[in-house]
Amino acid sequence: DVTKVVTWTSSNTLVAAVGDQPGSAGVAQGLSAGRAEIRARYRAREDSTTLSVHPPTITAIAVIPAHDSVTVGSDDYYRATATMSDLSTLDVTTLVRWVSSDPNVAAVSNGVEHGHVKALSPGSTTISAILESHTGQAALTVTGECTGKPDSVVIVSDLTIHVGEQGQMGVW
């Protein structure tokens, strides 16, 4: 085995790098999707192989907020985030298929406002976001209509967001 003493090179260092130092000799690292020819040179001999680097794949879908409670007639807004195999995340709100486990309690939109929920009647439902073979879920409780005074303003949705994110608030 001469793996550790050969000279390793990649034909496309934007796609793949290959270690050429002790401890990393022959270790290929995918950098972006594509193909690279990996060469090994030892004395006067050389061989090569094609390395295919595939884009990251989805490992999980999260629905945000994970738990929510609103009143009948309220609008609620959900987002779907995919965790990828490289541990990056991607907003897939407009790519998932949205489903309410009880459409009599709350209806969820797959139209222009993906993830928009309308609370229809008191009860509990699960809001699901489905993409490929992955499903993320959130619990939604719908309570009776708001009984505040006609002249009052009540914020009806709690919201937690991360730096750089946006979220929809609701007022009755």
Cβ neighbours of residue 165 closer than 8 Å, sequence gap 6 or more: none
User: Do 156 and 71 meet the contact criterion of CB atoms below 8 Å apart?
Assistant: yes
**Amino acid 168: pLDDT:** 64
User: Do 114 and 127 meet the contact criterion of CB atoms below 8 Å apart?
Assistant: no
**Amino acid 3: pLDDT:** 83
- The span from the CA of 71 to the CA of 75, in Å, is 9
**Amino acid 160: pLDDT:** 58
Taking only the tens of pLDDT, the chain with its 172 residues reads: 888 888 999 999 999 999 988 888 889 989 988 999 999 999 989 999 999 998 889 999 999 999 999 999 999 999 999 999 989 999 999 999 999 999 999 999 998 899 999 999 999 999 999 999 999 999 999 998 755 555 555 555 555 565 666 666 665 5
Neighbours of 103 (CB within 10 A): 11
User: Do 36 and 51 meet the contact criterion of CB atoms below 8 Å apart?
Assistant: yes
| Radius of gyration over every alpha carbon of the chain, rounded to an integer in angstroms | 25
**Amino acid 10: pLDDT:** 93
**Amino acid 161: pLDDT:** 60
- The span from the CA of 169 to the CA of 126, in Å, is 20
Neighbours of 172 (CB within 10 A): 15
β 97-100/16-18 pair status: unpaired
Tokens at residue 39, please? 């060469």
**Amino acid 86: pLDDT:** 86
Reported in sequence order, the residue ranges of 56-152 that DSSP labels E, i.e. its strands, are 58-64, 67-71, 75-77, 79-84, 89-91, 97-100, 106-108, 116-119, 123-131, 134-143
